[in-house]
Amino acid sequence: MEFTRRHAIGSVASFLGLSAGFRTTEADDLTPIRVGTVSTDPGMQPFYARDLGFFKDAGFDANVAILNNASNIVAAISAGSLDVGQASVSPVALAHQHGISIRFIAASGIYTGPIGNTILMVSKKSTITSGADLSGKTIAIGILKDLTQFEASTWIDETGGDSKTVRFIEVRISEMPAVLEEGRVDAAVLIEPFVTTAKTTAKVLANLSDTMGGPYIISGWVSSDDWIRRNPEVVKRYAAVMKRAGIWANAHPKESADILVRYSKIRPDVAAAMHRMHYAEGSTIDPVTVQRPIDLLVRYGALTPFSAKDIIAAQ
């Protein structure tokens, strides 16, 4: 999952090939802003803000585009094709380690328990019950060397196993239930909505989110140092819109699920049954919630140590 300027160039090309996105309004007196997100529950805040008029209320003409993943979003921001985007800690931290200055300006999804965001699952026929049973086994992961792999490694090491002996392989997350059922892997790391859809043939082995040791940011809104420096008032307004959208979504699960279905490929029945994202409702980012993922990546050699404050904009 190495982040380089070469990836930035490729992602810009990908971004420019997208559809025009969803624009809130064409009014000339509104502030234009280009927002990148993903079509999953953690990335829905801009669509809540769009459909409920929060962007317009805050004076924004927002162009919201869907990209494939957070790494592409970070790359597009770095290359100047986006102003703001949704990302997890991993790609932001990796960009920082490569001298690319991307910082969080607002929190999005935050894990506070007890239901996990990252879930380790096995086939319903499996006899695996602990990390000790996974030593020497094969685990499907969405992206190698990502935070989710190291959450799995932590749980294995803490429950009697040796993660160094585990073979992690990349599998498209939508295909994980099938490869589990067919016995091609021994376990798989899933997130919603795939946890819910997998439950017909698989069972939960562990809540990997608890390996962080406390609340942590699942995703947040990021921008480049240059854009943040040039637009301090816009940054504050954008953060306020995301806070408003998050508070609304937390309080209106049914209505927010309708919007989720509209802008994603998630079926209505799955959206109604799945564990939904809990959005941060504070006005500032607690550095501890960013430091926990950084420290986990450091523990497994994916990063060298640094302070979370280095990737959080002044609040």
Q: Tell me: the pLDDT tens digits for 107-153? A: 999 999 899 889 999 999 999 999 999 999 999 999 898 999 999 99
Is pLDDT of 99 > 80?
A: yes
Over residues 290-311, the mean pLDDT reads 97
Strand partners, 60: 31
Domain residue extents for the chain: 5-112+216-311, 119-212
For position 135, what pLDDT does the model report? 98
For position 220, what pLDDT does the model report? 97
Is pLDDT of 18 > 60?
A: no
Over residues 196-202, the mean pLDDT reads 94
**pLDDT band for position 206 (50/70/90)?**
very high
Q: Is 261 exposed, middle or buried (0-12, 13-18, 19+ CB in 10 A)?
A: middle
Instruction: Detail the DSSP E strand segments found in 78-232.
Output: 84-87, 102-107, 110-111, 119-123, 138-141, 167-170, 187-190, 202-207, 216-217, 220-224
**pLDDT band for position 8 (50/70/90)?**
very low
For position 68, what pLDDT does the model report? 87
Fold of 5-112+216-311: D-Maltodextrin-Binding Protein; domain 2 (3.40.190)
Instruction: Please say whether the beta carbons of 78 and 102 come within 8 A.
Output: yes
* Mean pLDDT score of the chain: 91
Instruction: Please determine whether the domains at 5-112+216-311 and 119-212 fall in the same fold group of CATH.
Output: yes
**pLDDT band for position 276 (50/70/90)?**
very high
For position 29, what pLDDT does the model report? 87
User: If we measure between CA atoms, which residue out of 173, 280, 274 comes closest to residue 218?
Assistant: 280
Over residues 49-69, the mean pLDDT reads 96
Portion of the chain with pLDDT greater than 70, in percent: 91
**pLDDT band for position 57 (50/70/90)?**
very high
User: If we measure between CA atoms, which residue out of 166, 158, 174, 118 comes closest to residue 139?
Assistant: 166
Portion of the chain with pLDDT greater than 90, in percent: 84
Is pLDDT of 37 > 60?
A: yes
Superfamily of domain 119-212: Periplasmic binding protein-like II (3.40.190.10)
| Cβ-proximal residues to 13 (8 Å cutoff; 6+ apart), any chain | none
State the pairing for strand pair 84-87/220-224. Answer: antiparallel
For position 16, what pLDDT does the model report? 40
For position 24, what pLDDT does the model report? 47
pLDDT tens sequence across 141-188: 998 989 999 999 999 999 999 999 999 999 999 899 999 999 999 999
Instruction: Please say whether the beta carbons of 3 and 68 come within 8 A.
Output: no
**pLDDT band for position 28 (50/70/90)?**
low
